Amino acid sequence: MADFYAVLHECGGRKVNQDSITLQRMVTRKGTVSLALLCDGMGGMDQGEIASGYVAEQIGVWFYDALPAVLKPRYRAGAVSKSLQRCLFRIHEDLREYGEEQGLHCGTTLTLLLIVEKKWQLFHLGDSSAYRLERCAKRITYSHAGKGGLERCIGIGRYHKPQERRGRWHKSGVFLLTSDGMQRFVKEQDLYHALNRERIRNRAEAEKALQGLAKAAVRRGESDNMSAVYLRCGK
């Protein structure tokens, strides 16, 4: 369970924010289950905001409708993964078919963190990022971008299984999910300096630090949407 979280959701230099964020939490017999999701609609494609918003909406439905049954009688990471991947495949096909019918391309990245029973699972497609902030800012996702653009995403082309990582959610844990607009002009050492556990004590301080990083990125030339989710574990 996260002690607290903070969110950044900025248009940057664009009129439309194609990023979507959802934060969900439910209480079960086994404790609190938390979910954080960041989707970055592909700016070079049509209706990226529709794609990212649809993914966020459908993942919320999965969280409340399908996940509780998967967690009974006990938490099994493999069962959660299979259930989520079935959901992601359906979402991918929905967006791809909608795009074909409308003559559009609707694609989005996906970076999802699920916390169950002091354990975490991460699912990732695209060029957004997830970091662990402990002694440094350590990126725990890899980019699916190639020379010709994104090679893996939700909604365009064939379906690819997401990158998946698992670990234990411990008392010093701090996670950060960011869209690519927060990466080009913000170095990992800047992230750690602004958001490390010793510096951030509450949600307001975390949100202020995220805003400071976004303003610095704009000064350095960033014009893309910028979104981030900061989660801290333990009091």
Give percent of the chain with pLDDT exceeding 70: 94
Instruction: Compute the average pLDDT of residues 80-98.
Output: 96
* 198-231 per-position pLDDT tens digit: 999 899 999 999 999 999 998 998 888 889 999 9
Q: What is the pLDDT at residue 183?
A: 86
Q: Tokens 């060029």 identify what position?
A: 127
Q: Does the pLDDT of residue 155 top 60, yes or no?
A: yes
* ω into 162 cis (within 30 of 0): no
pLDDT tops 80 at residue 235: no
**Rounded distance, CA 109 to CA 39, Å?**
5
- Tell me what percent of the residues of the chain surpass a pLDDT of 90: 63
Q: What is the reported pTM? A: 0.93
**What are the residue boundaries of the structural domains of the chain, listed by start?**
2-233
Question: Quick one: which of 63, 51, 65 has its CA closest to 20?
Answer: 51
- The packing angle between helices 48-65 and 77-102, to 10°, is 150
- How many angstroms separate the CA atoms of 93 and 156, rounded? 9
The class that CATH gives domain 2-233 is: alpha beta
Q: Is the pLDDT of residue 195 over 90?
A: yes
- Mean pLDDT score of the chain: 89
Does the structure show a pLDDT above 90 at 44? no
